[in-house]
């Protein structure tokens, strides 16, 4: 992980199931989720793949975070990783998650993609990532996420002439 980066894991298991009929006021666990999301400079979402998509717990968290007011995913730099025991390493789940995150306004990092398949070959019995190649992929993703976060959070102002008009675009 880049030295300027810290990682905080949020446990989604405490979130109640989203129900629009009883969403307000937000339950305490949802307030905590939304506060953590709002305070984060960026997000790293790790997803398994269940039946070709993301887990219900992750979708539930996104549903809670997408509600007004102050939707904390909107404009948030976000990277995705995924691990599965199959050969395709969460390819379908990540595609689906990108679609969902685009809809809620997250600024999802396009590359590099980290799709880890055959989890039993890259993690030990305690769940530690032991494969050096996969560690390198993750390191590159985190470094790129740090750069992406700076780029989208602090865009440089570029003054440029609009071709053929003589006008300056600011």
**Domain CATH code at residue 141:** 3.40.50.360
> How many angstroms from the chain centroid is the CA of residue 114?
12
Residue 6 included in any domain? no
pLDDT digits (tens, 9 = 90+) for 25-65: 999 999 999 999 999 999 999 999 999 999 999 999 999 99
Q: Is the pLDDT of residue 156 over 70?
A: no
Residue 7 included in any domain? no
| Averaged confidence pLDDT in the chain | 89
Residue 4 included in any domain? no
- Which spans in 66-159 are helix H? 91-103, 119-122, 132-153
Residue 3 included in any domain? no
> How many angstroms from the chain centroid is the CA of residue 47?
9
Residue 77 included in any domain? yes
Domain span including residue 22: 12-169
Residue 100 near residue 72 (C-beta atoms within 8 A): no
Number of domains in the chain: 1
């Amino acid at each position: 992980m880049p030295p300027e980066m810290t990682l905080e894991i949020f446990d989604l298991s405490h979130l109640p199931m989203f129900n629009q009929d009883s969403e307000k006021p937000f339950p305490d666990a949802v307030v905590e989720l939304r506060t953590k999301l709002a305070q984060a400079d960026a997000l790293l979402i790790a997803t398994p793949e269940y039946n070709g998509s993301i887990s219900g717990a992750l979708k539930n968290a996104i549903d809670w975070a997408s509600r007004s007011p102050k939707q904390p995913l909107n404009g948030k730099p976000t990277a995705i990783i995924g691990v599965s025991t199959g050969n395709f390493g969460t390819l379908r789940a990540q595609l689906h998650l990108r679609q969902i995150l685009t809809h809620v306004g997250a600024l999802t990092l396009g590359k590099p993609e980290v799709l880890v398949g055959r989890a039993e070959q890259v993690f030990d019995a305690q769940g530690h990532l032991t494969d050096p190649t996969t560690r390198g992929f993750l390191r590159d993703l985190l470094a790129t996420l740090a750069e992406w976060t700076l780029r989208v959070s602090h865009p440089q102002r570029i003054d440029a002439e609009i071709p053929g008009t003589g006008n300056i675009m600011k």
